A and B are shown apart, each in its own frame.
Chain A
Amino acid sequence: MSFSWMAWTLPTALFFLTILALLIGMSVWEYFAPGGAPRVGILRFETTRGDRLFISLLGAAFIHLAWLGLIGPNLWWALALAVVYAIGVFRFV
């Protein structure tokens, strides 16, 4: 089966493999610590760890877009900022 019509590139394949790895990682985490660890953080509403991953990924997308629009095309610093943001979300949200 050919997937050439999907126009795969190495960076986009790595991007989706990272997302897949995160989802598998979250599933394994859920298997060993079921229940999703719900809690009320600084946003004052209840989130599970799945919600926190969603907030992290969505925020990371906007951090990259904002960096690209406001600063420039070098996105490594945006990636670093997104990782710091994700750690913050998992720690405090």
Chain B
Amino acid sequence: MEKTWNNKAWFLVLPVLLLVAFSAAIPLMTVVNYSVQDTFGNNAFFWAGTDWFDDILHSARFWEALQRNLLFSFIILAIEIPLGIFIALNMPKKGIGVPVCLVLMALPLLIPWNVVGTIWQVFGRVDIGLLGHTLAALGIDYNYVRDPLDAWITVVVMDVWHWTSLVVLLCYAGLVSIPDAYYQAAKIDGASRWSVFRYIQLPKMKRVLLIAVLLRFMDSFMIYTEPFVVTGGGPGNSTTFLSIDLVKTAVGQFDLGPAAAMSIVYFLIILLLSWIFYTVMTSSDADN
């Protein structure tokens, strides 16, 4: 069949362009405008130049929050991606088990972020929470309100509980799309379970894994609601991620200029890291 070239088709993307303009481009332009000015309210602005960027780049608070964010994303990816693949590989491929597993996997994804935070906040409490109380009964000194390590473990486990399902569902979709002929050929060749995974399943899952890594990275790097509800960024600043710091600056202190500058630096870091992830994974895909 011959392709028809008609440049008028570009008009069909106009609604999307308008949507992106109103939902992303115009707010972003406003943030850039705010980042070079100071305001005391009443829509009155004063030119500040690059002062806010200078402050942010020399702020220990910003760099510490960034380090916490990078560490958190690294831990999340290191746990959720292998665990998601492992669960997807072990899920049933046919029978009544398929819908049961799919519904069970989808359940955590349907719970709103603040509800997840509230669930884990209560769950981890030593006095009334099932987890906290059980650990205390076992003689384990666990208290996420007082101990930074416990707070980190709670936030990480909560995120794993909430979002591993997404990786599972994406990997499962990749796995069920592999034709049976591949497995039959592997069986004829006497391939081991590892070889089937390494040379058939993993390459076939590569595209969905790319999406999973990108989504989980961007989402974990922008995480706000769950740790805010559970720990409020504490104890001390131990779970204060960039987004929590940003909200404190913008809403708590009403420092719109510094908050806008911080937003732009934050946005650029996410853009850079996502682009690196995407490029590395798609170019290795092209090489294969």
Contacts and interface: CB of A to CB of B under 8 A. Distances in A.
A77 interface: no
Contact of B57 (A7, A46, A68): A68
A79 to B, nearest CB: 12
A62 to B, nearest CB: 7
A76 interface: no
A32 interface: no
A69 to B, nearest CB: 4
Contacts of A4: 43
| Most chain B Cβ neighbours within 10 Å, of A4, A16, A58, A65 | A65
A45 B286 CA distance: 9
Interface in B6-49: 26, 29-30, 32-34, 36-37, 39, 43, 45, 47, 49
B12 to A, nearest CB: 17
Contacts of A73: 49-51, 54
Nearest to B28: A16
A92 interface: no
A40 to B, nearest CB: 9
B268 A12 contact: no
A66 B12 CA distance: 40
Contacts of B283: 44-46
In the A-B complex, the 5 residue pairs with the closest CB atoms: A69-B57, A45-B283, A7-B33, A6-B30, A7-B45
Interface of A: 4-9, 11-12, 15-16, 44-46, 54, 58, 61-62, 65, 68-69, 73, 75
26 contacts: A4-B43, A5-B43, A6-B26, A6-B33, A7-B33, A7-B45, A9-B33, A9-B36, A9-B37, A11-B36, A12-B29, A12-B33, A16-B32, A45-B279, A45-B286, A46-B283, A54-B275, A58-B268, A58-B271, A65-B53, A65-B268, A68-B53, A68-B54, A69-B54, A69-B58, A75-B50
